[in-house]
């Protein structure tokens, strides 16, 4: 008997390619594209996504940790890889060099230690220096640029390949963001005056690709948009994208209930009419958010059906009373395009209902769900 999976996350590599070219279509001349594939490519599978990105000419890849970078190298990914959260321990310096990974450096103590540790290296270690122009997270203060450049002029073991910064808000264009761009330009000028010529200068994530074209510099870092979601629904019209992940499950069984029957934990839903309920074998342990209880929708038989009652650890209930003939074995689409033109459940829509962001929706689809690449 061939195995029919209870649920599958289909990863549409053509949609990924479409999103890449849509993003590239927005870039200022001379800007390259870094694909952010941290957190297992936002739940899509880092090696498979990177392989596809590599085949369509991505310029750089970005992960959070050294281990994530090593995973890419073990998967035979050859493109440059930026370690965006930098190094967490000195044991990581040797593997970073061995696997040809490029760490981001954002504090003086680490920079001083790294300068010492790399002195004897056969090849200088490439680094990107991060400046905090207003994010309030990682980075040197722009005022420190002169000092840092001075420290590095004589550091033989370190090659400043990149300068970077990050926006806390890029879904809208505002004065705060423009001041950040100005501050970052000051940093770039300081480094150039000190004789540095970094190949990669980057600041923009998905939102800034649309809202801050002057901040595309020589590279942009696209994450969520690669996977087909917008950092905010207000950007939908400006950047056409296709949802890369489709989360699909087989309905396990259907049951008929009279009016007045309460369903699932907590008895938070009571049928208001004679109802047919489909039982979908996916729950919050698969990463389907419990906060979609009585709020989310799924696509069944080309119809949008409401989630009823609490989402359980392994089960979700949908009201299919108005969906025509629905039976066990039929497909329920929890995320993605479904059946009819224009009918889809996007990660943005799920996030709105669940009170979160599409990033969290995608990253949390658990590894219990098999990824199938199409
Ligand atoms: C430093 C950095 N750059 C770029 C990105 C990608 O952002 P987005 O997914 O909004 O494109 C992230 C994501 O968290 C990030 O941390």
Q: Is 113 a catalytic residue?
A: no
- For ligand 1, atom 15: residue with the closest CA: 205
Q: 175: Cβ–Cβ under 8 A, 6 or more apart, which residues?
A: none
Best residue among 37, 138, 163, 223 to mutate for probing ligand 1, ranked by most atoms within 8 Å of CB: 223
Q: 77: Cβ–Cβ under 8 A, 6 or more apart, which residues?
A: 47, 50, 51, 54, 61
Distance 166 CA to ligand 1 centre (A): 8
Is the model's pLDDT at 188 over the cut of 90?
A: yes
Is the model's pLDDT at 180 over the cut of 80?
A: yes
Q: What is the pLDDT of residue 89?
A: 87
pLDDT digits (tens, 9 = 90+) for 32-91: 999 999 999 999 999 999 999 999 999 999 999 999 999 999 999 999 999 999 998 888
Distance 190 CA to ligand 1 centre (A): 25
Q: What is the pLDDT of residue 338?
A: 83
Distance 263 CA to ligand 1 centre (A): 40
Taking the domain 13-229, which CATH number applies?
3.20.20.10
Right CATH number for 245-345 from 3.30.1380.10, 2.40.37.10, 3.50.50.60, 3.40.50.720?
2.40.37.10
Q: What is the pLDDT of residue 3?
A: 59
Q: Which atom of ligand 1 is nearest to the CA of 164?
A: 1
Of residues 116, 112, 114, 120, the one with CA closest to residue 102:
114
Distance 342 CA to ligand 1 centre (A): 28
The rounded mean pLDDT for the chain is: 96
- What is this structure's pTM? 0.96
What letter would DSSP give residue 140?
A: B
- For ligand 1, atom 8: residue with the closest CA: 223
Q: Which of 10, 14, 38, 227 is catalytic?
A: 38
List C-alpha distances in Å: 334 to 307, 343, 347: 10, 12, 10
Strands (E), 106-204: 125-130, 158-164, 200-202
Q: Which atom of ligand 1 is nearest to the CA of 209?
A: 11
Q: Which atom of ligand 1 is nearest to the CA of 225?
A: 11
- For ligand 1, atom 5: residue with the closest CA: 205
Q: Which atom of ligand 1 is nearest to the CA of 222?
A: 11
Q: What is the pLDDT of residue 5?
A: 84
CB 131 within 8 A of CB 184: yes
Domain boundaries, the chain: 13-229, 245-345
Best residue among 36, 105, 209, 348 to mutate for probing ligand 1, ranked by most atoms within 8 Å of CB: 36
* Ligand 1 binding residues, C-beta < 6 A: 36, 84, 166, 205-206, 221-225, 231
- What six digits make up the tokens of 207? 């939102």
Distance 84 CA to ligand 1 centre (A): 9
pLDDT digits (tens, 9 = 90+) for 99-147: 999 999 999 999 998 999 998 888 999 999 999 999 999 999 999 999 9
Q: What is the pLDDT of residue 2?
A: 45
Distance 347 CA to ligand 1 centre (A): 17
Q: Which atom of ligand 1 is nearest to the CA of 138?
A: 1
The interaxial angle of helices 108-117 and 145-153, nearest 10 deg, is: 10
How large a percentage of the chain has pLDDT more than 70?
99
Is the model's pLDDT at 183 over the cut of 60?
A: yes
Higher pLDDT, 9 or 90: 9
Q: Is 364 a catalytic residue?
A: no
List C-alpha distances in Å: 298 to 2, 176, 282, 341, 359: 26, 39, 12, 15, 19
Distance 318 CA to ligand 1 centre (A): 34
Q: What is the pLDDT of residue 4?
A: 62
Q: What is the pLDDT of residue 1?
A: 42
CB 235 within 8 A of CB 251: no
Give the span between the Cα atoms of 40 and 269, in whole angstroms. 36
Distance 223 CA to ligand 1 centre (A): 6
Confidence of residue 213 (pLDDT cuts 50, 70, 90): very high
Q: Which atom of ligand 1 is nearest to the CA of 221?
A: 4
Mean local confidence (pLDDT), 168-188: 97
Q: On the CB side of 112, how many CA atoms lie within 13 Å of its CA?
A: 4
Is the model's pLDDT at 325 over the cut of 80?
A: yes
Best residue among 168, 205, 351, 360 to mutate for probing ligand 1, ranked by most atoms within 8 Å of CB: 205
Q: What is the pLDDT of residue 233?
A: 85
Best residue among 221, 224, 359 to mutate for probing ligand 1, ranked by most atoms within 8 Å of CB: 221
Q: Which of 79, 227, 265, 279 is catalytic?
A: 265
């Amino acid at each position: 008997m061939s195995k029919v999976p209870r649920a599958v996350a289909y990863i549409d590599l053509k949609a990924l390619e479409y999103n890449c070219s849509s993003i590239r279509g927005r870039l200022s001349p001379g800007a390259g594209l870094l694909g952010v594939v941290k957190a297992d490519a936002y739940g899509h599978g880092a090696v498979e996504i990177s392989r596809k990105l590599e085949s369509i000419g991505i310029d750089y890849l970005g992960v959070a940790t050294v281990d994530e970078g090593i995973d890419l190298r073990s998967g035979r990914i050859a493109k440059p890889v930026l370690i965006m959260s930098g190094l967490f321990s000195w044991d990581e310096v040797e593997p970073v060099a061995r696997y040809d990974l490029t760490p981001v450096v954002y504090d003086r103590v680490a920079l001083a230690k790294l300068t010492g540790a790399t002195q004897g290296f056969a090849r200088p270690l490439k680094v990107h220096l991060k400046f905090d122009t207003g994010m309030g997270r990682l980075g040197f203060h722009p005022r420190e640029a002169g000092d840092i450049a001075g420290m590095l002029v004589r550091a033989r073991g370190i090659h400043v390949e990149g300068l970077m910064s990050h926006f806390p808000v890029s879904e809208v264009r505002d004065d705060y963001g423009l001041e950040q761009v100005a501050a970052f330009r000051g940093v770039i000028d300081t480094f150039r005056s000190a004789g540095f010529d970094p190949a990669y200068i980057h600041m923009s994530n998905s939102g800034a690709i649309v809202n801050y074209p002057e901040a595309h510099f020589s590279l942009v870092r696209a994450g969520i948009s690669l996977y087909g979601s917008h950092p905010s629904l207000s950007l939908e019209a400006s950047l056409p994208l296709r949802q890369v992940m489709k989360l699909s499950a087989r309905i396990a069984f259907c049951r008929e209930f009279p009016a007045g029957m309460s369903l699932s934990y907590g008895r938070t839903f009571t049928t208001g009419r004679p109802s047919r309920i489909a039982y979908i074998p996916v729950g919050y342990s698969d990463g389907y958010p419990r906060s979609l209880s009585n709020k989310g929708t799924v696509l069944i038989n080309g119809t949008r059906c409401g989630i009823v009652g609490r989402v359980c650890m392994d089960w979700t209930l949908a009201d299919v009373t108005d969906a025509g003939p629905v039976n066990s074995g039929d497909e329920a689409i929890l995320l993605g395009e479904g059946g009819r033109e224009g009918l889809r459940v996007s990660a943005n829509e799920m996030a709105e209902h669940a009170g979160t962001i599409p990033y969290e929706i995608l990253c949390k689809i658990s590894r219990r769900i098999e990824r199938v690449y199409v």
